[in-house]
Amino acid sequence: MGIIEMRGVDKWYGQFHVLRNINLDVKPKEKIVICGPSGSGKSTLIRCINRLEEHQKGQIVVDGVELTNDLKHIEQIRREVGMVFQHFNLFPHMTVLENLSLAPIWVRKLPKAQAEERAMQMLERVRIAEQAKKYPGQLSGGQQQRVAIARSLCMNPKIMLFDEPTSALDPEMIKEVLDVMVELAREGMTMLCVTHEMGFAKIVADRVIFMDRGEIIEQNDPHNFFDHPQNDRTKLFLSQILGH
C-alpha cells in the first residue's frame, strides 16, 4: 500500500505530451531520486503530486486521497505534502520567522506562540536559528533554501517533494543544503527529489528513476542503477553527467 500511487497518468501542455503513462508507487519512508535530461517531465511529475499541475488522464492517490478537481481534497493533500522549489520562493515581505509560521497559523490553526516555537525548532534543525528575524533577501542562497526546507517541515508533512533544490545555488552552498536533506532522509521522511546530485542519490535513495520524454525509462536501486544501467538512453545520460 503506497503513500503515493500513480496509475496510468498522462498530461499534455497543449499538443505537447509531457507525461506518458506514468505508473509509480511510493512506499512510506521511501526515498526516490528522479533524474533525466531537461524537458523530460520530471518536475511536472512531482508537481502533479500536490496538484501544482493538473493531470489529464489516470489516477493519483496521495495518502489515501484521490486528486480530483475537488478543492477540499487538494488542500487536504497539500497540508501533508511539503515542497521545496528551485528558486526557494520565500515570501520577501516577511521575516524568516513569519515565513515559517504563516501556514501553521492559517492552515493548521495553531496559536501564534506555538507556531513560532515550532518554527524556531525547525530553524535549529536546519542550523539557521540566528537568522529568524531577518528578511529572506538578507540571506545567502544556501541559507534561503534551508529556510525553505524548514518552512515545509513546519507543516509536519508526511511527504517532501524537492524540485531541483540545488540547481540555483552557487557551488559552495550546495553541500549545506544537501546535508540538511541527507539528515531529513535519515530521520525517515518520505522524499521525492528531482536532482542531478548523483552523490546524494547514491547515499540516500532507495530507488533512482530515470525519465526521458515524459516516460519512466528505468528505475532501480542506486547500486544497480549507476553500475549496471539497462537502457541505452540511461547509459547515455549517465555518461553525460558522470563522464567527465
Residues of this chain that bind another protein (CB under 8 A): 50, 52, 75, 78-79, 81-83, 85, 87, 89-93, 102-103, 106-107, 135-138, 151-152, 155
Task: Pick between residue 68 and residue 138 the one whose CB is nearest to another protein.
Answer: 138
Least Å distance between CB 68 and another protein? 16
Task: Pick between residue 138 and residue 239 the one whose CB is nearest to another protein.
Answer: 138
Least Å distance between CB 130 and another protein? 16
**Distance separating the N- and C-terminal Cα atoms of the chain:** 40
DSSP E strands: which ranges in 63-128? Answer: 65-66, 81-84
Q: List the grid coordinates of 38.
A: 531537461
* The residue to which cell 526557494 is assigned: 88
Task: Pick between residue 16 and residue 91 the one whose CB is nearest to another protein.
Answer: 91
Task: Pick between residue 156 and residue 239 the one whose CB is nearest to another protein.
Answer: 156
Least Å distance between CB 93 and another protein? 5
Dist. CA 70–CA 80, nearest whole Å: 16
- DSSP for 113-168 reads HHHHHHHHHHHHHTT-GGGTTS-GGGS-HHHHHHHHHHHHHTT--SEEEEESTTTT
Radius of gyration of the chain (CA): 18
Task: Pick between residue 99 and residue 234 the one whose CB is nearest to another protein.
Answer: 99
Least Å distance between CB 158 and another protein? 13
